[in-house]
Chains A and B, each alone.
Chain A
């Protein structure tokens, strides 16, 4: 799992975001397009791309895209 690919997937899920404007330091909750639907789309993307589930609470504790990336990564490794 590569961070650039993750950021592209995230931008696709949330829609109308230029992946180039995002980094692992981005506080995704402060994005203009962040919404409850964007949160749902993000979980759906994580499930279909990485085959792991992130709970609402886990998402809540993530502040940056880097935090989310780390959470997903540890679940993927746990599963492997």
Chain B
């Protein structure tokens, strides 16, 4: 059910991406024709790909440092740190706790991880703003992102396409008594759990040694079992089925219509799917910013990265009513409708 979260303000947003850009056209994915077709369908032309030395936590840390510097926050006043990612540093402990120390936050801050990808920003915003709204926490840092592109071998036979880019963002939220309400609505449907999956490595299927090795299957394709699995068709069906009603529901709940929203920020999955959703909802293109061309799909970071890349001037200088929708892994999806005013947006940091 949609809910209303009072007394929380989005203070600032920062992002960090790897310096290394890998244009899809120059990648070793398929033939030139196949790459052109891929770009035409997905809208993805460039991706930032981390070297193995840079983990999601490193990007998140750089974004958080930049944001804290810009905000001039006293680190001792931060009492909540949430890290939303599917690429943590370790199985155990949670990366947020490691980051508490790296960011020199006080021991009095609560820190934990949330295991989510494409829906992660809307989930993260809802979780953190609800916790602050409840009164116990005052200042929080929400770190989201993934390094889904790092170390992945592209293979057209196995459908491992250059969809993903690496990025992480930091969002600062604080208790603010006269802040306009944040509306949020979260969903899940675990029957789709196999559609986006890391099959090996945790308790159900521990890593068997041979799964790290490449082998050639019956069709002559080179395969490694431990890479990320995606079922593109099921993800497509899920997204076009669930996203439009979720947008309509939060609009109805807040008694707003399309004209009241300054920008619709969708998770950047791929152009084909996102455009079907946009057209289904009859949203004007100018209200639906895209950054697929520049960054590809950066998992939970797509929404804040798109905000920074496309609308940083607007959200810094004037009140903006934003409707965000993250959707993907699990399946899980969520919407957040909020009004921002004067959000601090430092330049995107390149690592």
Q: Contact residues of A with B, CB < 8 Å?
A: 15, 35-37, 39-41, 43-44, 47-48, 53-56, 59
Contacts and interface: CB of A to CB of B under 8 A. Distances in A.
A16 to B, nearest CB: 9
Contacts, number: 41
A43 B236 contact: yes
A15 B37 CA distance: 10
B272 A56 contact: no
Contact of B276 (A37, A39, A48): A48
A-side interface mostly: helix
A43 B41 contact: no
B272 A39 contact: no
Contacts of A41: 41, 272
A35 B159 CA distance: 9
B237 interface: yes
A39 B161 CA distance: 14
Contacts of B232: 36, 39-40
Interface residues of B, number: 18
11 contacts: A37-B41, A40-B236, A40-B272, A43-B233, A43-B237, A47-B276, A55-B233, A55-B234, A56-B234, A56-B237, A59-B233
A66 to B, nearest CB: 20
B241 A53 contact: yes
B38 A37 contact: yes
Contacts of A54: 237
